[in-house]
Chain A
Amino acid sequence: MRGSSPRMTAVRAGRSRIMQKQSVFHSKFLPYMLVLPQLAVVLVFFYWPAVQAVIQSFLLQDAFGLSTTFVWFDNYRELMSDPDYFSAILRTFLFSVAIALSSLSLALLLAVMADRPLRGSTFYRTLLIWPYAVAPPVVGVLWVFMLNPSLGVIAHGLRAIGIDWNPLLDGNQAATLIILAAAWKQISYNFLFFLAGLQAIPSSVIEAAAIDGARPMRRFWTIIFPLLSPTIFFLIVVNIVYAFFETFGIIDTMTRGGPAKATETLVYKVYSDGLLGGNLGSSAAQSVILMGIVIALTAFQFRFVERKVNY
């Protein structure tokens, strides 16, 4: 694709500075017509619900939906003093860190290995990226099957080495189950980005390091890892967001938040509190808090990750 590289860099670097083309059309109504479909969808299905969520978080509805009272921040206060909610927050963060760490380190290892013998070849890449296409519920089904206490293949193996495996009863084992399944699914996504990041490092820089006396391990830690750090930061944020939201499908298929809420993440709690508990106000408040967390994470990514991209 043609295009002057200064422009590309400007677009990339100045995300918050919107540049306009020099040559433009000057129709009166056409632009509005063009933007209308997306704007309509966005207003109806994004902003309106978001506003509704905020409003609802300030309400208390009784069980039959007959009367609603405006209660200001009561729902929030309740949440903040609810030990269940705090454990959900803690749990979600713990999950995120565990999933991100395990998935990232394995993916990095694989990417470093794939980059070496076959730089530019897509063979290994093909074989390692397809799990991205597997849907969360399917992931859940697959892993539930393998780790099913009575008939799972891996469960057999675990029992053979003396581990009493029963995620239906043991909360920690259930949590491990979720973490394993979620990390498994993310490996390919992380692998892809690591590979791209590695291949963006010019081989001449690595060769220069080799000539400068650096052995492979030293090269990795002093040259490759630092140059990969923007990708690493970016992926950490993405993985955390992933762990927050996309694990819903996995949890709903595998443990449904149990046993005894051991695998209930924040998103899952929104779902179960609203659907099953009937406390829409609290559920809405939780949604709003989640919105806040995501916005904070995204903002963090924009500000800090983008800064480090250019050397």
Chain B
Amino acid sequence: MANVVLRNVRKTYPGGFEAIKGVDFEVGDGQFCVLVGPSGCGKSTLLRMVAGLETITAGEIDIGGRVVNDVEPADRDIAMVFQNYALYPHMSVYNNMAYGLRNRGMAKPEIEARVQEAARILEIGAMLDRKPRQLSGGQRQRVAMGRAIVRQPKVFLFDEPLSNLDAKLRVAMRVEIRKLQRRLSTTAIYVTHDQLEAMTLADILVVMNAGQVEQIGSPLDVYAKPATTFVASFIGAPPMNLIPLDAEGVRARFGGAVAEAGVLGVRPEDLAISSEPPAPGGLTLDLAVEAIERVGPETFVYGTRSPGGDLAAISSKPGELPPDEIIIRIPGQEAPAIGQRISVVALRHNLHLFSADGRRRIAV
């Protein structure tokens, strides 16, 4: 069994800064878990704690049923792929992959077999004699992965491995990584700040912000039912529209059950341009069109609720829109003109309600 369990894990740096504020979750055997969040949220720190490269101030980390808090990285039976690949510059590709096996005293023939097999899977057999500096970014990435898979570890750890690749390569490698992991059925924990990568790769998604876990769940669950406004605006692009409502507004819209101020959320794709009133319980907004973006298969329309108002200041919360700005996503290429006043509607079951501080999802 190679599951990973984190129990109330905390990390505080000597200066007093609390980087990880109590994290609990479990990654089942063979599952692909993605830690996603903005820069500085602690996801890399958490990964490194699982690897043993950072100390744990409190709590427990369990790998395969064994508590590994005090176990050296070399003894945790893990393999890690770094963002900058961290290949040994002075060794050939073959030796880069063989290094870990040699350290464990494996016999030469077996090392040869494993390295060749990994090279075959990753299609790097032709470059076994080359040095890292002679390889392209994508090739180095494969070697880094090869180094990880020859070890046949209990857990793979990935620290933003695709960030340094160009966009096209990133998409191709994303698929490769997923296929590889499925084929080897090794437990994997993957860190990224790219929500698209997170959505496409994960079995379990862990959304983090400022050292805390905001939500854990399958990608589609997290997408359909975000637990906080942070998750709501972080997952899904363009981000969810968030409209603050006072208590009156909430009661008026959602019935008497809820009577406190809150934040109304609706995704851009759930808004449609229509001059007809929506079904009961739905939402209507009057907007003045400020900008249009045509991306090919669809169009993004940016509108503001206050007519002729200045575009609000840039929001300080990552992923959130400035207040008053609403994005609508419409299929096709037809779009209203800039300056035009339009009406958009959303159905009730596509509306989300959060508490005023954004920390809680309110069921309606």
Residues of A participating in the B interface, judged by any CB pair closer than 8 Å: 202, 204-205, 207-215, 218, 222-223, 226-227, 310-311
Contacts and interface: CB of A to CB of B under 8 A. Distances in A.
B359 interface: no
30 contacts: A202-B84, A202-B86, A204-B82, A204-B84, A205-B87, A205-B88, A207-B73, A207-B80, A208-B82, A208-B88, A209-B88, A209-B99, A210-B53, A210-B74, A211-B53, A211-B73, A211-B78, A211-B80, A211-B100, A212-B100, A212-B147, A213-B74, A214-B99, A214-B103, A215-B74, A222-B99, A226-B90, A227-B90, A311-B90, A311-B131
A242 to B, nearest CB: 28
Chain B residues touching A, range? 20 to 34
Contact of B133 (A207, A218, A226, A310): A310
Contacts, number: 63
Nearest to A211: B73
A209 B98 CA distance: 12
B104 interface: yes
Contacts of A205: 86-89
Interface string B87-98: 111100000000
Given A214-B99, A223-B88, 20 more contacts: A204-B84, A205-B87, A205-B89, A207-B51, A207-B53, A207-B80, A208-B80, A208-B82, A208-B87, A210-B74, A211-B51, A211-B53, A211-B73, A211-B78, A212-B100, A212-B151, A213-B100, A215-B74, A227-B89, A311-B132
B86 A204 contact: yes
A205 B52 CA distance: 15
Nearest to A206: B86
B171 to A, nearest CB: 25
Nearest to B105: A213
B79 interface: yes
Contacts of B80: 207-208, 211
B145 to A, nearest CB: 13
Contacts of A204: 82-84, 86
A213 B104 CA distance: 7
A205 B144 CA distance: 11
A290 B99 CA distance: 46
Nearest 10 interchain pairs by C-beta: A212-B100, A311-B89, A213-B103, A204-B86, A208-B86, A213-B74, A204-B82, A226-B90, A211-B73, A205-B86
B103 A212 contact: yes
B89 A210 contact: no
B197 to A, nearest CB: 20
Contacts of B79: 211
Interface in B69-85: 72-74, 78-80, 82-84
Nearest to B104: A213
A40 B154 CA distance: 71
Given A218-B103, A310-B133, A311-B132, A212 B74 contact: yes
A222 B51 CA distance: 22
Contacts of B83: 204
A6 to B, nearest CB: 15
Nearest to A213: B103
A310 B131 CA distance: 11
A231 to B, nearest CB: 13
A223 to B, nearest CB: 6
Contacts of A226: 90
A211 B90 contact: no
A22 to B, nearest CB: 28
A209 B131 CA distance: 17
A207 B87 CA distance: 11
A210 B73 contact: yes
Contacts of B84: 202, 204
